[in-house]
Amino acid sequence: MLENGAAPPPGDSYSPPPAGGVATRLLRRKPVERLVAEGGQGEGGTLRRSMGVWQLTMISIGATLGTGIFVVLGEAVPDAGPAVVLAFVIAGITALFSALSYAELAGTIPVSGSSYSYAYATLGELVAWVCGWCLILEYGVSVAAVAVGWGQYLNEFLAGTVGFTIPDALSAPPGQGGYFNLPALLVVLLAMAFLLGGAKESARANTIMVVVKIVTLLMFCAVAFQGVKSGNYANFMPMGMAGVSAAGATLFFSYIGFDAASTAGEEAKNPQRDLPRAIMLSLVIVTALYCLVAAIAVGALPWQKFKGSEAALAGILKNVTGHDYWSVLLAFGAVVAIASVVLTVLYGQTRILFAMSRDRLVPKTFSKVHAKTGVPRVNTVIVSLFCGVLAAAVPLGQLADATSIGTLFAFALVNVAVIVLRKTRPDMPRSFRTPLSRTRWLWPVFPAIGFLLCAFMMSRLGPVTWVVFGGWMAVGLVIYFGYGMRRSRLATAEK
């Protein structure tokens, strides 16, 4: 029986396990129909369905476009050299296979929890918790990592307009010449202010920012192309394929946007139709722009000069033109672009915690919705303050790799969830299916490839990243067994 005394929906493989069996309690699943029926419901209010395919696509692009190009490019080029373009392609292909799985599940289970909810419906509560805990790492740390680079571009813009910059002590993270990254904290608080105004208002602001950053990147390509030199491509793969794959693993951090779109499932007008479209469209647009900008950037500036630069594109324009005007425009576009990423990823983080809180795996404070704005206010404030302080105090490189491993792990689970749901609920209506899904023997091929690619990319990350990830998982398991397992709504339904 379900929490309200009703029987599980017909055809669902869920059945409440006996309260005394620990193993079966860890594998309890939440029915798909129940997940969908609870959509939008929070403590004291409901989320509002106000987004169409255009807004969802802009959320996806907003959470993705800008991070890898404006910030992480300086971290990846020293590993891959000019072959950083291939690194973007590898990361994009890896993301594509997972995006196909996301599109199928987003159209089938259109809820805010993203891969956490997909895992809850297919792989059981413990795996769902692990996935949700990875998403907290993915989203929370991603907000901080992106915000870290905002200060460098802000200083570029200020220097070119008013001749004043924020001192390194207050604009760089500890370990890189600073004590406290004040701009990083400010951009997170700015995003928080937009989110507190409502989902529709935030989506409108994000759309404007996305248009600005696309125009900015196209402007960079047009101007920087004049400085491209064929000799800069001569030593195309200086670190070999190992360097390319290592850069690709870092750059995968730049492809989490379509996951952010899937967290809007309970605020979309027609999620079954629009979410798959938004996910696939955004991935194509972002990958094309990433590769174009990266190819021109390494052609206009020797790859050895990228090391240590988090505002590389502005510097390239200054070198090519000899004037500050274009670099100031680029810096302004980057300030807007990174703010857009912070806004949309912070939005995704709050919706993940909203879903986990509704299931009582985390305190119900995170699922309280303000009746007037339809926004989880307390959730938004808590997450924003945490991410802002993290952004101000931790170096970028460590944050980017930590985000990559959390993202890859969650994506791997989504690919598995597609296969499991196909086996357990083959007749469930699906508005989108991965390729070959109607072929008798080949239907699991694309999700399986997606899983293997995620596993390979995880293997390319450094030992320090794995240690951090292992510690994060250990903390998460302690919280689950000490709090979530006994308080979850499925657990209380068994009593």
Question: What does the pLDDT look like over 351-398, one tens digit per residue?
Answer: 889 989 988 999 988 988 887 878 889 999 999 998 888 888 776 555
Confidence (pLDDT) at 380: 93
Confidence (pLDDT) at 14: 41
Tell me: pLDDT of 16 over 70.
no
Tell me: pLDDT of 20 over 60.
no
Q: Would you say 134 and 146 are in contact if contact means Cβ atoms under 8 Å apart?
A: no
Confidence (pLDDT) at 397: 57
Question: What percentage of the chain carries pLDDT values higher than 90?
Answer: 13
Q: How confident is the model at residue 267 (pLDDT cuts 50, 70, 90)?
A: confident
Q: How confident is the model at residue 71 (pLDDT cuts 50, 70, 90)?
A: low
Q: Which of these, 8, 119, 11, 17, lies nearest to 425 by C-alpha position?
A: 11
Whole-number average pLDDT of the chain: 82
Strand partners, 51: 268
Tell me: pLDDT of 335 over 70.
yes
Is residue 110 left, alpha or beta, with left meaning phi > 0 and alpha meaning psi from -120 to 50?
beta
Q: How far is it, in rounded angstroms, from Cα 483 to Cα 366? A: 15
Confidence (pLDDT) at 15: 41
Q: Which of these, 349, 205, 323, 321, lies nearest to 263 by C-alpha position?
A: 349
* 17-31, 90-104, 336-350: least confidently modelled range: 17-31
Confidence (pLDDT) at 243: 85
Q: Would you say 119 and 19 are in contact if contact means Cβ atoms under 8 Å apart?
A: no
Q: Which of these, 456, 443, 353, lies nearest to 411 by C-alpha position?
A: 456
Q: How confident is the model at residue 3 (pLDDT cuts 50, 70, 90)?
A: very low
Q: What is the pTM of this model?
A: 0.82
Confidence (pLDDT) at 8: 43
Question: What percentage of the chain carries pLDDT values higher than 70?
Answer: 89
Q: Provide CB contacts within 8 A for 391, sequence distance 6+.
A: 143, 144, 145, 147, 148, 181, 184, 185, 187, 188
- Convert the pLDDT of each residue in 192-248 to its tens digit: 999 998 877 888 888 999 999 899 889 989 998 988 888 888 888 888 888 888 888
- Over residues 445-455, mean pLDDT: 92
Q: Would you call 200 helix, strand, or coil by DSSP?
A: helix
Q: How confident is the model at residue 1 (pLDDT cuts 50, 70, 90)?
A: very low
Confidence (pLDDT) at 402: 67
Q: Provide CB contacts within 8 A for 344, sequence distance 6+.
A: 59, 62, 63, 206, 257, 260
154, two tokens: 């802000």
* 22-31, 217-226, 404-413: least confidently modelled range: 22-31
